[in-house]
Amino acid sequence: MYKIVKKRALNKAGTTIEMVVEAPLVARKCLAGQFIIFRTDEYGERIPLTIADYDREKGTVTIMFQPVGKSTIKLAELNEGDFILDFAGPLGKPTHMEGLKRVAVVGGGVGCAIAYPVAKGMHEKGIEVDMIAGFRNKDIVMLEEEMQACSDHLYITTDDGSYGEKGFVTEKLKELIESGRNYDEVVAIGPGVMMKFVSEVTKPYGIKTIVSLNPIMVDGTGMCGGCRVTVGGETKFACVDGPEFDGHLVDWDELLKRGAFYKDEESNQKEHICRLTGGAQNA
């Protein structure tokens, strides 16, 4: 059992939740870019969440998420002092940072919760970081102070222009590249469509672009095959080969199609009837 020691809403709209969880074994070894898989209870489904931060001394791990499906809604209903049944990790490969001098980290919406620890880890290694954070509107802007602290330049964009600069992250990224920013690498984290278009922006300039893929996952060890993605014409498993991959090699059409396959089921709030036991389950 893993105790929730802190919980807060990250934006005005309350659409994104931050939780700090006591998980000393995970905190001891985790690095930026890795993730955990949680289950709220014995009937819950396994859900991957990127590690947003950690404190090795306190033995805590921070996660950030949007309550959009049944399991994340159940997680959001828990409060400080409550317990999570399973909190397995760290899983996946950490972000590669060696040899980089200047990068652009691009986050879209809740993806900023994943982009933030990457930017922080790079900044701590002395890498110059330009961060571009995009949101639909002012009410869902989050982590502004945290992102400001871990970047040399922070650019916030909103679709409607209600805060920061009006426009999309891809437009701002292209503007910075054309202004003469010589990036060794661009890291894009957010909705699949956003990462796809960021990769298309950088490809003509020959800038290596890393994306963080979080497709359907079950076991997190590469055995189930649920998280398979096609990268460079080869089948990869996001949980063990990733979650970060070369965005110029990802088969985006396949990834986006598979990502939407269970959309209706994910939002279904009805109880699931197990065919083996005939009993109602909460997953």
- Domain extents for the chain? 2-91, 102-259
Q: What is the reported pLDDT for 2?
A: 94
* Distance, CA of 130 to CA of 184 (rounded, Å): 12
DSSP string covering 76-122: HH--TT-EESEEEEEESPPPP-TT--EEEEEEEGGGHHHHHHHHHHH
Tens of pLDDT, residue by residue over 226-261, are 788 899 999 998 888 888 999 999 999 888 887 666
| Beta-carbon count within 10 A of 106 CB | 31
Question: What is the CATH architecture assignment of 2-91?
Answer: Beta Barrel (2.40)
CATH number of 102-259: 3.40.50.80
Give burial (CB, 10 Å; 0-12/13-18/19+) of 184.
middle
Return the DSSP state at 138: G
Q: How far is CA 177 from the centre of its chain?
A: 24
| Beta-carbon count within 10 A of 245 CB | 21
* Distance, CA of 34 to CA of 243 (rounded, Å): 8
The structure's pTM equals 0.84
- pLDDT class for 217, splitting at 50, 70, 90? confident
